[in-house]
Amino acid sequence: MNGFVAFLRKELLEYTRTYKLFIMLAVFTIFGIMNPLTAKLLPDILGGLMTDGIVITLPTPSALDSWAQFFKNATQICLIVTALVFSGVLSSELSRGTLINMLTKGLSRAAVILAKYTGMVLIWTASIWLCFGLTLGYTVWLFPNAEVVHLFFSAACLWLFGVFLLALLLLAATLTKSSYGGLLIVGAAVIALTLLNLAPGAREFNPLTLVSDNMALLTGDVEPSALYAPALISLLLSAVSVASAMLIFRKKQL
């Protein structure tokens, strides 16, 4: 346990020194502010671009437009940034050989994997909820008295998918020495989950549903109970991925 705590502190300190923590917080802060502002100002911006004789009728922006920006940017950009930031979670240390000294001094390989996963999840959690909090604050300010249902549950589903994606990334990192190889494996897994939706009934259990039904939750078209199964499967797959990463790394030749 002491080895886990010490290595986790080392991981968080390294993320600070390499500016990875700053990059994550900065990117998520920018989008947290931009989401409601984009929803509010987009009709005016498009209106200013119209030329004479062209009339485009745009609906009045609402809080749902702000949250649509949040979930779109979080799934299309923020998750990609997260994967890129953590893509070298093992490859950089394996290439430098810095882990060998710590492992020979008694640090267990299981503690290394658990600490790395915990560090990634902590930074992802702080970043996504910072983005959510900023979006929520500005949305309430710009669109007062707006009612949105299942908001926190929808955001929690997004967070859980990120936790699942990080577990896959860590497993991929133990399978390859290259950070690009890990990204390719994770990308292939996401594509496989996308194709899985083509199978009848598979969507009800697909973890990808956690980031595809967010707006349907907010409008009430989908009830939270419909995402219980994907959430549970995501948790189980995350645990299996981390456990598999520990097993593979234990037998890995450094």
Summarize pLDDT for 193-204 with one digit per residue, the tens. Answer: 999 988 888 889
Summarize pLDDT for 93-125 with one digit per residue, the tens. Answer: 777 767 777 777 778 889 999 999 999 999 999
Residue pair 135/51 in contact (Cβ under 8 Å)? The answer is: no
Task: Give the C-alpha separation, 88 to 169, whole Å.
Answer: 10
Chain centroid, CA 78 distance in Å: 7
> What is the amino acid identity at position 161?
F
DSSP state of 253: -
Task: Give the C-alpha separation, 181 to 165, whole Å.
Answer: 15
Query: Distance of CA 77 to CAs 81, 136, 166, Å?
Result: 6, 19, 15
- Write 197-206 long-range contacts (CB < 8 A, 24+): 204/229, 204/230, 205/229, 205/230, 205/233, 206/230, 206/233
Rg of the chain over Cα atoms, rounded to whole angstroms, equals 21
Task: Give the C-alpha separation, 36 to 68, whole Å.
Answer: 9
Q: Where residue 86 falls among pLDDT bands split at 50, 70, 90?
A: very high
Summarize pLDDT for 158-205 with one digit per residue, the tens. Answer: 999 999 999 999 999 998 877 788 899 999 999 999 999 888 888 899
Supply the pLDDT for residue 93. Answer: 76
The SS3 of residue 131 is helix
> What are the extents of the domains in the chain?
2-251
Q: Is the pLDDT of residue 16 over 90?
A: yes
Residue pair 12/117 in contact (Cβ under 8 Å)? The answer is: no
Query: Distance of CA 61 to CAs 74, 98, 102, 139, 202, Å?
Result: 20, 53, 55, 11, 34
Percent of the chain with pLDDT over 70: 92
Token pair for residue 222? 């989908």
- State pTM to two decimals: 0.92
Query: Distance of CA 177 to CAs 108, 168, 218, Å?
Result: 20, 15, 41
Residue pair 78/31 in contact (Cβ under 8 Å)? The answer is: yes
Token pair for residue 116? 């790395």
Supply the pLDDT for residue 162. Answer: 97
> CA nearest 37: which of 110, 141, 119, 120?
141
Residue pair 60/41 in contact (Cβ under 8 Å)? The answer is: no
